[in-house]
Structure 1
């Protein structure tokens, strides 16, 4: 098979790495890819948002299967376009992907079909949003309705911060059109967990649960990021909790999307808060998470190509999916200044000096004059597996300590909550 992976971050590096393990795969292309992906696949200079360019390439190169990493091409209808042209592609349709593309739509569907989530209100007028904040007070969560690269959510513990967040999103246009509308939610207390699931329209096969670390600083301090690290499996996600989530959240959501004329095929990502009264949905994503994909795929035993083909054929129920009985941890190394503005072009050293059993997934890297340099905010996802979470943490940080670039920063507490449990 000739496969095209769309995207150029850590998630896509993990996808390429996993797909390469399939004996059925002859050649992998990645658009646009990065310095690490280039060691495993042919990188193509086409941006992930350039859907017509990707279609032309897939036809010219007789690509057998396209796997989409990021959300923007999905919400822009890449799956619909490829399918109209008779090309095999893995991911949800534009209509189904809108569960991520519009937080307001996702909340409305959850309300309509009684899927547990936080109380909310939606506004496309900043003055009305501010009035609501003043009426209900804080803590609350302010969300840009559209896509904002994982940064469009502001947790406000006081009214002043909440009002500033409304202005930041709606008046200052921090996230552009994504902030034309805001969703204001009640603040939920508990522990977060990410549950990704393979879905073929009807059958749902959950993956190993993981936990992302959104805040930039240790002990969940500082602003939100695209994710500073993740581990799997998450001990908070007990078999009892998993049964509740499948019964009350995953199955009802897939059935709701079908009922709304948005049948779902691909990876459905449920970001959950485990509250004192049970699990509630924080958000849905229409694709593999980043950085959760790195540890989760590290634990997948089954050939990913077999799973994808079963989903596309509507035969997921017949496809066994097996996981290694181990743990995996991914620590993100970020550029100085991230999640704010950051410098690019810092030389990265030590990539070949990480211990055995550590895989370095490249996120924001490029090649320059024969050297690997930084080219993004999240630069690397240093990922290790171990017999348990402690061993995986130890190995991941040994890997981190071998790698250097100017201004590198990372959290020192990835996986600590799992150890405390």
Structure 2
């Protein structure tokens, strides 16, 4: 069986490795992939449009394509593949707006009574500035489109407000979609990520995870694409699961069906526990990164069989190991702003599994950094305390002068 995975990070390496478990007779292709995916499959080396990818799939008899990165979704890759009658896992463009257009997503939540922080939307810099002049409390200011996890700013005062809206709406720090913003109530609680499968008939949640988005220890500094994750999330107790199912998952499912936002793929719930209630902050319409990297090692199912069942089964049972996992992201020093690549990484070939390459390449038997987030190291144990200790112990064996990682993943 030939499978194409779209994306080039640690998530895509993790998906590929999981697919190979128990399925040695599959051939994996990645676009664009990275140094890790090249070890387990073939990277499509040349620059491709989504039409090029569809034609590649036709020509090479690709039986299944999995969309890892959200970038491809907003380029309408699913619509095009379906037009050519190619099997693909992911939402069409209309459904992907739940993630790609945050205002669309918030409007959906409001319409279907899904508990979410209070918010206002603006397409005028002056109107946003006028609104913020009356505020003196922390607020969340969001860029409307995709920003690789970096388009959310927590602003605490007037200086923060002005800087945030200027960066987004005037200086176009995140591109043209910054013409529209969301200003949202700030909830100081515990974050939860819940990834799930949506097969048009049911939403089947995975284990809960906790994502560490900020670059610095104690959740300080700039937002990133994620500096680590733990699974399961210790704050997601039975009461919170009940609240999530009743006030988030069920009305989401009803809204998806009512609005015809149906697809075969993954749905990510970005949540906040605040005052013993669970709030939905955002949807993603694909697997999260780095949550996928801490989740998949705990999944008992044959991942390929589970994905194939998307197409013909009503019910999918997901089984999990009774363990905890901790994923630590090693990044290039300076990420998420300016950073250098091409730095030598030693002992990577001796690293104990599981681990995933995110931004590194191999040349003449030597590994070099090639991106902002470089490596995902996973520790697993019955207890999260020992899972994180295992992960940090593995990191100690890696040598590179230009790598950075947080020291507090899994501590809270």
Fold conserved (TM > 0.5)? yes
Question: Is it true that 1:389 corresponds to 2:384 in the alignment?
Answer: yes
Structure 1 residue 244: deviation in Å?
1.6
Answer whether contact 2:100 2:146 (CA < 8 A) is retained. yes
Structure 1 residue 334: deviation in Å?
0.6
Aligned twin of 1:19 = 19
Q: 1-side partners of 2:396 and 2:55: how far apart?
A: 43
Answer whether contact 1:258 1:264 (CA < 8 A) is retained. no
Q: Tell me the secondary structure at the aligned position of residue 235 of structure 2.
A: coil
Aligned twin of 1:191 = 190
Aligned twin of 2:339 = 342
How many residue pairs end up in the alignment?
412
CA deviations on 1:342-374 (whole Å, 9 max, x unpaired) are: 10111111113334xx32201111233442111
Structure 1 residue 214: deviation in Å?
0.5
Which stretches of structure 1, 4 residues or longer, exceed 3 Å deviation after superposition?
A: none
Of residues 397, 401, 414, the one that matches 2:409 is 414
Answer whether contact 1:351 1:360 (CA < 8 A) is retained. no
Aligned twin of 2:122 = 123
Q: 1-side partners of 2:401 and 2:78: how far apart?
A: 40
Instruction: Write the mapping of 1:62-101 to structure 2, written as runs, cut at 5 A.
Output: 62-101=61-100
| Structure 2 alignment gaps of length 5 or more | none
Structure 1 residue 55: deviation in Å?
0.7
Aligned twin of 1:6 = 6
When the two chains are superposed, the root-mean-square deviation of aligned CA atoms in Å is 1.4
Answer whether contact 2:297 2:354 (CA < 8 A) is retained. no
Q: 1-side partners of 2:388 and 2:310: how far apart?
A: 33
Aligned twin of 2:373 = 378
Aligned twin of 1:163 = 162
CA deviations on 1:291-316 (whole Å, 9 max, x unpaired) are: 00001011111011222122233x24
| Structure 1 alignment gaps of length 5 or more | none
Question: Is it true that 1:202 corresponds to 2:201 in the alignment?
Answer: yes
Answer whether contact 1:138 1:162 (CA < 8 A) is retained. no
Q: 2-side partners of 1:260 and 1:404: how far apart?
A: 51
Instruction: Write the mapping of 1:106-117 to structure 2, written as runs, cut at 5 A.
Output: 106-117=105-116
Q: 1-side partners of 2:361 and 2:51: how far apart?
A: 24
Aligned twin of 2:351 = 354
| Structure 1 residues 234 and 27: alpha-carbon distance in aligned structure 2, compared to 1, 3 A threshold | same
Answer whether contact 2:228 2:290 (CA < 8 A) is retained. yes
| TM-score of the two chains, using structure 2 as the length reference | 0.97
Answer whether contact 1:299 1:326 (CA < 8 A) is retained. yes
Q: Tell me the secondary structure at the aligned position of residue 416 of structure 1.
A: coil
Answer whether contact 2:76 2:93 (CA < 8 A) is retained. yes
Q: Tell me the secondary structure at the aligned position of residue 268 of structure 1.
A: strand
CA deviations on 1:103-147 (whole Å, 9 max, x unpaired) are: 100111111111000101111111111111112333100000000
